[in-house]
Structure 1
Amino acid sequence: MSVRKLGKRPARHDARTFRLGAPLAARLIVPPTAVNWAPNDVWPVWCNDTIGCCTQVSVASAIRTWTGAAQAPVLLSDAQVIDNYSAASGYVPGQAQTDQGGIELDVLNRWIREGYARPGQPGRDYLTAFGVVDVRDRQSVMRAIAALGGLYIGVQIPNYIMQTGGDWALNAAGDQTVVGGHAIWLHGYDSDWLHFNTWGERKRMSWDWLTTYCDEAYGLVSRQNWLGINALSPNAEDVDALVAEMRAA
């Protein structure tokens, strides 16, 4: 079992953040019963075994998923993930006291405004828009993953997850003590499980685990990575129309 670090600070909610439920339902697909945008990817740990950079690991995971499905895979280096963590959260390499984790809302807002380092040209990655998704609404979760390429979430981790391997499922016999917050990028689902990577491993999460432990979830729109030259997603969805709907709400 790999070394595991957490790093999601308490959720900060902002009433001005777009709500994606209605626009997703109005503008995008009827979700398929199952989808997985990164079924066979090998995932780096991206230093989340030594520092609490999970909010930026999830950014790197989103970019890897989007580009692998829609264009050509773009894989951030460890150094770029650390640089992005430093820029968004104030981490100074070698100064352990500055490793305080990140606030997801701040990470996403900065991604829009200032971008993050990535390989190749132009060397900066910019998010187009994001909005809140209610994880209790399974159709909204499915639609966000199927049409937007994934879901950026924050969860509270019970101690039994840190002590065991395998799937993330409710475990009444395990130690329920919450030991901290963790950021995760969900890149697939089926009727029983959600698919994600964390700490360099492919994982599955049960739907009831998600609704029990998730305290924030965001659908992300990336014109740079996810949309083709015709502004459509790999499923030929008009995501620009979704952004317009979000901004008009």
Structure 2
Amino acid sequence: MARSAPVRLLRNHINPAPLMLGNDKVGNCTSVGLANHIRATAALAGFQVDIVPENAISFYSRSTGYVPSRPETDQGGVEVDVLACASRIGYDVPHQRFYPLWGSSEPEDLNALRLIVAGFGAAYVGVQLAQADQMSGIWDTITPGNQQPGSWGGHCLLVWEYTGTADDDLVTVLTWGIRQKCTWRWLRSRLMEVHGVIWPQLVLPGGLYPTGDDLEKLRAENAAFLGN
């Protein structure tokens, strides 16, 4: 993470095709975030993975204990626990199951966050939303309303692209089935946690990941860094 991330990352020509997957009815954003991460990464390679709401709700139940017949169990998920669960049992989609590899970064390190977005397709992050974020338009810290992080609750979303690295440059996040714009100053004020996720099953026939990276080379470099 010592190297500099790209100063801008523009993906206007690629549709990550985020889906709602039931997050308008239950608090399964941590599960939906993984599903949309799969879809966003696949989109970088020019194809797509079918995922239906039942997949996202089923994994939400398996990773958090949510029981559809008991609304009181709809308490959301802890991202690291959800990621660990996906690594152990996999994430089921129609006709296949995905197992992620993942790691975490300090939320204060925006350069590392940008490296994750560029190298892994998207960053899987947790934010503290404010009531002011209920307003339509670009999420920013200078819009009217209550800007207290957490006053609207916690949420999981994906960071997908950005126009630059200045405070007022725009970042595209994937949430609630749309591409939402925000500023870096907004994201910095809301971030709680940042995670990088890789899906080995999305490696292309030529051996490269959809972002263009060599996954086996990455494994070797990781092993060398860890002294294995």
User: What TM-score range do you get, normalising by the shorter chain?
Assistant: 0.7 to 0.9
TM-score (ref. length: structure 2): 0.86
Q: Name the SS of the counterpart of 1:35 in structure 2.
A: coil
Cα distance between partner residues in 2 of 1:78 and 1:156: 24
Per-residue deviation, 1:124: 0.9
TM-score (ref. length: structure 1): 0.80
Per-residue deviation, 1:208: 1.1
Cα distance between partner residues in 2 of 1:154 and 1:216: 5
Cα distance between partner residues in 2 of 1:220 and 1:38: 22
Deviations 1:53-110 (A, max 9, x none): 0001101110111112225201310111100100101111121011010010011111
Specify which of 120, 131, 139 is matched with residue 159 of structure 1.
Answer: 131
Q: Name the SS of the counterpart of 2:216 in structure 1.
A: helix
Q: Name the SS of the counterpart of 1:241 in structure 2.
A: helix
Deviations 1:118-174 (A, max 9, x none): 122xx21111x2122234333322221111101000000111113x11211113632
Counterpart in 1 of 2:186? 209
> Cα–Cα, structure 1 residues 205 and 158, in superposed 2: closer, same or farther, change >3 Å?
same
8 Å CA contact 2:121–2:211 kept in 1: the answer is no
Counterpart in 1 of 2:104? 132
> Cα–Cα, structure 1 residues 235 and 65, in superposed 2: closer, same or farther, change >3 Å?
closer
Q: AA paired with 1:221?
A: I
> Cα–Cα, structure 1 residues 236 and 49, in superposed 2: closer, same or farther, change >3 Å?
closer
Q: Name the SS of the counterpart of 1:108 in structure 2.
A: helix
Q: AA paired with 2:34?
A: V
Counterpart in 2 of 1:233? 209
Counterpart in 1 of 2:92? 117
Q: 5 Å matches for 1:40-189?
A: 40-70=15-45, 72-120=47-95, 123-127=96-100, 129-162=101-134, 164-171=135-142, 173-177=144-148, 178-189=151-162
Q: Name the SS of the counterpart of 2:126 in structure 1.
A: strand
Q: Which has the higher contact order (CA 8 A, sep 6+)?
A: 1
Q: Name the SS of the counterpart of 2:8 in structure 1.
A: coil
> Cα–Cα, structure 1 residues 190 and 105, in superposed 2: closer, same or farther, change >3 Å?
same
> Cα–Cα, structure 1 residues 234 and 32, in superposed 2: closer, same or farther, change >3 Å?
farther
Cα distance between partner residues in 1 of 2:51 and 2:65: 19
Q: 5 Å matches for 1:2-21?
A: 21=1
Identity of matched residues, %: 32
Cα distance between partner residues in 2 of 1:116 and 1:234: 19
Q: AA paired with 1:168?
A: W
> Cα–Cα, structure 1 residues 110 and 215, in superposed 2: closer, same or farther, change >3 Å?
same
Counterpart in 2 of 1:196? 173
Per-residue deviation, 1:214: 0.3
User: Which blocks of at least 5 consecutive residues in structure 1 are unaligned?
Assistant: 1-20
Aligned residues: 219
Cα distance between partner residues in 1 of 2:216 and 2:187: 28
> Cα–Cα, structure 1 residues 96 and 235, in superposed 2: closer, same or farther, change >3 Å?
closer
